[in-house]
Structure 1
Amino acid sequence: MKNKKKWIAVAVLAVILILVSMFWYYSYVTQDQVAERNAAIIKAKQSGGLVSTTRTWKSVWSQVYWVVQGKNAQNENIMVWVPFQKVEGQPNVPAADNSGIHTELLKNGVDEEKMKAIIQQQLPDAEIVSLQPSVFNGEYVWQLFYNDGSHHNYTFYRFSDGGSTGVKYTLPNY
């Protein structure tokens, strides 16, 4: 009986040790991502008029942007695009000057739910894999990654009016 209790205690201790190790590993692996997100939120509050944060997205196309959604001092919903630059051996950091930071009232653009409705109307058979705000060719857009049944595709819709940019990238099958 004592031997059985001993093995149960060892098994419980081993499970706890494995869970703690997995948490530490996850924290280690995501620390750069968390540091970038936190830096984007701070920069959006300092230079973009953000007061509170609702959601964040990381956009990587030709340049890294973090897009922060939240509220401004007037309690209006806003989106703030914060450009980042690569620093060798460190997480990406916000661009040094504030010229690349762009703030837009959500009411002056198309929010995520309206964008999904537009997509469903234009691409009724598309399975949306991800939809996120981004910057494409210097324009603030919604970046759509979707499956049309035969391929995965990227396409872009203007944030300002939800209109298509006319650019579509089809990924090869693998």
Structure 2
Amino acid sequence: MEKKYLFIVLPLILLLAFGIFAGTVIYQPAMAQKAEGHDQAINKAEEAAHLTKIDQAQTFVGKEKHFIIEGKNDKNESVYVWVPDNKNQKIIYKAINEGITEKQAADVLRDGGEARDVIGIQLAREGDVLLWEIAYMNQDNQYTLSYVDFSNGKIHKTITP
């Protein structure tokens, strides 16, 4: 009876161990790649927007890669700084209160009847247009991305793959 048990449990343990190992080997480089460039972007944001405190750094990859840094400047204002990965583009920074909030951006889609279930929201940028990227399930239960203008709250574009 013990041998039979061993033949069942041992392969399961080996399979689980292999799964954890393989997941780690794939996950670690993927996460490292996402955060790659944050330190340089933070340095550029600190210099351009006179940041004294960094609260958060995110990566947005759309048509182009951007880093969005949230922090406080030397006037103690909360600001967002969009740092492009492309050195030919300019760094843009805005006080947080100069645009709409994450909640207001989601409400634009909910109030318009587009969004049924919001999945995620993050800051984005397309050229010099500052945006909120909102992932959601639409009324037809399709995964959809909408881009809401950070400055005026208007829907910039919607993509339903």
TM-score > 0.5, shorter chain as reference: yes
Amino acid at match of 2:75: Q
Structure 1 unaligned segments of length 5 or more: list them: 1-16, 86-94
Give 1:133 shift.
1.1
The equivalent residue for 1:105 is 95
Deviation at 1:82, TM superposition (A): 0.3
Q: Counterparts in 2 of 1:16-165, with a 5 A limit? A: 25=25, 27-85=28-86, 95=87, 100-123=90-113, 125-148=115-138, 149-165=140-156
Give the alignment's Cα RMSD to 1 decimal.
2.7
Deviation at 1:115, TM superposition (A): 2.1
| Number of equivalent positions | 143
AA aligned to 1:139 is: V
- Per the alignment, do residues 34 and 124 of structure 1 end up closer, same or farther by CA in structure 2, a change over 3 Å counting? closer
State the alpha-carbon separation in 2 of the partners of residues 145 and 29 from structure 1: 21
Distance 1:108 1:101 in 2: 16
Please say if residues 49 and 103 of structure 1, whose CA atoms lie closer than 8 Å, have aligned partners that are also in contact: no
Deviation of 1:137 after TM superposition, in Å, equals 4.9
1:120 CA drift (Å) = 2.6
Seen in structure 2, the aligned counterparts of structure 1 residues 28 and 139 have a Cα distance that, compared at 3 Å, is: closer
Cα displacement string for residues 23-64 of structure 1 (whole angstroms, at most 9, x for unaligned residues): x84555433333322222121112232221222221111110
1:73 partner letter: D
* CA spacing shift, 1:137–1:82, aligned 2, 3 Å: closer
Partner Cα separation in structure 1 for residue 155 and residue 58 of structure 2:
21
Mapped to 2, the partners of 1:65 and 1:146 lie a distance apart of 22
- Alpha-carbon distance in structure 1 between the residues aligned to 2:116 and 2:133: 14
State the shift of 1:160 in Å: 0.5
Report the counterpart of residue 170 of structure 1 in structure 2.
160
The one-letter amino acid paired with 1:158 is: D
